[in-house]
Amino acid sequence: MLGALTQLIDESLEGFSPTSIILGTLALPIANALYQREWREDLRWVQDKAFKIAPKIPFIGSKFQHEIDKKFEPAMDEMDQDIHKKRTLVYKSLPREGIDKKVLLEQIKKDCDFSEIGDKMSGAIYRSLIDRDLDSLNAEIFGLAAYTNPLHAGAWPNLAQREAEVLAWCSALFQGDDTMCGSITNGGTFSIMEACRTYKEWAKKEKGITRPNMVVPATVHAAFDKAAQDYGIKLIKVPVDPKTQIADVKAMSRKINKNTIAIVGSAPSYPTGTIDPIKALSELALKHHIGCHVDACLGGLLLPFAKDAGKKLPAFDFSLKGVSSMSLDPHKYGQTAKGSSVVLMRKKFGIHQPYIFLDSPIGMYITPNQAGSRCGANILMTWATLAHIGRDNYVDITKRIFNLREKIADEIKQIADLKILGTPLLSVIAFDAKDLNIYLISEKMKAKGWHLNNIQNPAGTHLCLTAKHLEDPQFSATFIQDLKECVQYVKDHPHEKPKGEGAVYATLGSIPAVISPQLKEKLGQEYYYLSTRIQPTRAKKRETAQEQSPQEVKNPRPRRPRFTNTNQ
């Protein structure tokens, strides 16, 4: 029976080429997937699925791997060296005996030395290092509160009070009312993920949505991708306006369907520093009875002071009825110690944020977010830093950052070979090169001590201004002079290509679309692995391979023995 069936199948496929059989076989699971996954919404998902299957097919798989390796290996060799160039190998294993405090502090001072960076770092260091009072204040607070834990409210009841006060201050800055819910998290990613999870819970309980999606501009922070991956939310990314670099609200509107739980706008977006049309997004959310999250992690402690600093910005906060949640980071322009972010939500949604387990064997267990234990020092340092700096100083810092941004942006516009991406309104100035390799320009700036942030889609780099950059009156002049010299160098060396990180960005931009998903995943995995090593690994791997014999390296496939007829 089986033999007859096999013969029938073979005869019916006799007129088809092997390629058409393979493609036809692929089409069956894809067609089924289309039916199961609401095919109108996401054709890219189908493409990714097909490309995950293709490498497993004989012959086709080897071609895929060849293309991946051709692009992958040189870029990662350079990245490995770039990562470990300035690392020092100190301890390979846990010391058997305790190390003296003085020795440890000497090492930690070296680890935290910013002298080489100076004020040439984009973002990262958001506060002026001149104010030593803030350092001593936070040092004393950490010494007092390092071992406190708001999870144990009975032991430290005032920690909850200080957290509530920070939330109330932030709510007032963003024109929220006294019913706002929220929590302090350890960073903007956590705040964004909490908001996304809360919308998922709200939609499941209140609207019965079990296959949720969120419609977002393509420029949103990668934290939304993390949330989508972890919480089973489909992220529908909509391209932004290529000229303004802000969300295309009409295009986003067309993507909303019965499973949409929220839309997102950035104030500002991380890549280009542009502010999405939050008012229009707010109205769209109200129309569809869904949430609207504003990611203000980067601009959170600049936005509310802009008006008093003399700058009029488009509406972005809870004054818009459709805005239902916001994320902001005091550890950026609030100048608090790292590990301080805030998520705020209207009560309708926010009551779905906490984790509640009243019948747990460990007793009634309720936490405001994913974290169980939290360090009380982070809450207290956030509270104390905001109170210590005060509103008037925040307004002054905001005004000075805006003035510096305008000055540098105007100078960049005068460089014929560069173009600014979008309209910068806060602290970020993003730019690309018209006919030059922007990543090579960024690399040459790095050689002069500048640490800019490379971006992609579109290709570019950006400078994020902070209070640290206000210390040097010659900052803008030095930056522009170095930038002009780097642009001229790249013009004079048209065949030179970037290395290290720049090579990776260039690789990502040049790979064929059909292998893009696989290569990007492999690049990410290898970068993660290399960054967790204490010394370069790829060079050592090559040396080991070279020491082996050719037979060991090639490991050729054994030949099948030839058939011989012993009866002859």
Domains detected in the chain: 149-387 (3.40.640.10)
* CA-based R_g, the chain, Å: 28
Structure tokens at 217: 């501009």
Tell me how long the chain is: 568
Per residue of the chain (568 residues), give pLDDT as tens: 556 656 666 666 666 676 666 666 666 666 665 555 444 445 555 655 666 666 666 666 666 666 666 666 766 777 777 766 667 666 778 888 889 999 999 888 888 887 777 789 998 889 876 677 899 999 999 999 999 988 887 788 899 899 999 999 999 999 999 899 999 999 999 999 999 999 999 999 999 999 999 999 999 999 999 999 999 999 999 999 999 999 999 999 999 999 999 999 999 999 999 999 999 999 999 999 999 999 999 999 999 999 999 999 999 999 999 999 999 999 999 999 999 999 999 999 998 887 777 888 877 777 777 888 888 999 999 999 999 999 999 999 999 999 999 999 999 999 999 999 999 999 999 999 999 999 999 999 999 999 999 998 899 999 999 999 999 999 999 999 999 999 999 999 999 988 766 666 665 555 555 455 666 677 777 777 777 777 666 655 555 544 444 444 344 444 444 444 444 4
Paired strand residues for 343: 183, 327
pLDDT of residue 40: 46
CB 429 within 8 A of CB 273: yes
Per-residue model confidence (pLDDT) at position 509: 57
CB 166 within 8 A of CB 386: yes
Closest CA to 459 of 513, 385, 510, 398: 510
With CA atoms as reference, report the closest residue to 291 among 216, 219, 239. Answer: 216
Joined together, the tokens standing for residue 156 give 């430290």
Show the tokens assigned to 223: 């934290």
* Number of Cβ atoms within 10 Å of the Cβ of 290: 22
Give CA–CA dist 234/259, Å, rounded: 9
Cα 35 to chain center, whole Å? 32
* Cβ count within 10 A of residue 552: 9
The pLDDT assigned to 31 comes to 61
Nearest Cα to 202, choosing from 262, 150, 253, 148?
262
pLDDT for the residue 110:
86
**What are the CA-CA distances from residue 508 to residues 31, 70, 184 (Å)?**
29, 12, 36
How many whole angstroms separate alpha carbon 294 and alpha carbon 191? 11
Name, in order, each residue with C-beta under 8 angstroms of 164's C-beta and a sequence gap of 6 or more: none
Paired sense of beta strands 341-345 and 181-185, if any: antiparallel
Count CA atoms within 13 Å of residue 192 on its CB side.
25
264 burial (CB, 10 Å; 0-12 / 13-18 / 19+) is buried
Beta-carbon contacts of residue 116 (< 8 Å; ≥ 6 apart): 449
Provide CB contacts within 8 A for 33, sequence distance 6+.
45, 46, 49
Helix, coil or strand: residue 341: strand
| Token pair 């509406």 in the structure block, residue | 315
pTM: 0.80
Locate 62 and state its tokens: 């080897």
| The pLDDT value given to residue 226 | 95
Q: Which residues contact 232 (CB under 8 A, 6 or more apart)?
A: 200, 212
- The closest alpha carbon to 82, from 442, 432, 431, 430, belongs to 442
What is the C-alpha separation between 197 and 232, in angstroms, rounded?
9
